[in-house]
Amino acid sequence: MVSIPVLTIDGPGGAGKGTISGLIAERLGWHLLDSGALYRLTAQAAVKHGVALDDEAALEALAARLDIAFPVEQGAARTLLEGEDVTRLIRTEQAGERASRVASLPGVRQSLLDRQRDFCKAPGLVADGRDMGTVVFPEAPLKIFLTASAEERARRRYQQLQAAGVDASLSSLLKEIQARDARDTQRSVAPLKPADDAITLDTTRLSIPEVVDRLIQLLAQKGLADGR
């Protein structure tokens, strides 16, 4: 695992992790791990099979046998759960709230840990999540912690929903983000925080291309990419 280059990108929801991780993986030809999708998929599977979101033993067993796939077609990744396309379904605010609850359970996190590490394959991996640098890939040569103000993250989410034709309340989104931040940073297992050796990058006033270029430069400085 340690011989394969890994870039971990952690941070709260709305900081741009998913978009930026995907762009970097595509640019470098590396594999991509969207760890947050695993928790969203576990929560969605729980809803589908009638498992309570506070039943840790049942959720742990469910996570261990998840039937999932991430096929890429025409440059766009899809997310399949038991053969069903749930790409859009698991990206709602409600799905995110459920995923955050599931992710706070130690048994579920342990069940998904080995599965996440299996994504580490040549030529390299971009791992997007909340504990990639602290728990899943602690020996990664470059760890990034992306952040942005809660207000900016709520604004970005609001714009995404509006563009998708989904009605939303900016004030409600802000409250949900603040509540999720509190839950993620205060949980006893793998709380959301930068790794000791992570580089923190505030994206509040940065464009996506600016962030991507900055991370490619950092990879190049460590000899992990050519900087193009």
> Do residues 117 and 137 make contact, with C-beta atoms less than 8 angstroms apart?
yes
Half-sphere exposure of 197 (CA within 13 A, CB side): 13
124 is in an annotated binding site: no
29 is in an annotated binding site: no
Q: How far, in Å, CA of 99 to CA of 42, rounded?
A: 7
96 is in an annotated binding site: no
16 is in an annotated binding site: yes
Q: Could you tell me which residues come within 8 angstroms of residue 130 by beta carbon, excluding any fewer than 6 positions away?
A: 10, 11, 12, 35, 36, 103, 184, 190, 192
83 is in an annotated binding site: no
129 is in an annotated binding site: no
- Going from the C-alpha of 84 to that of each of 52, 66, 78, 87, 153, the distances in angstroms are 21, 12, 10, 9, 30
C-alpha radius of gyration, the chain, whole number: 17
> Do residues 198 and 145 make contact, with C-beta atoms less than 8 angstroms apart?
yes
15 is in an annotated binding site: yes
Residues making up the binding site? 11-19
Q: Which residues are annotated as a binding site for ATP?
A: 11-19
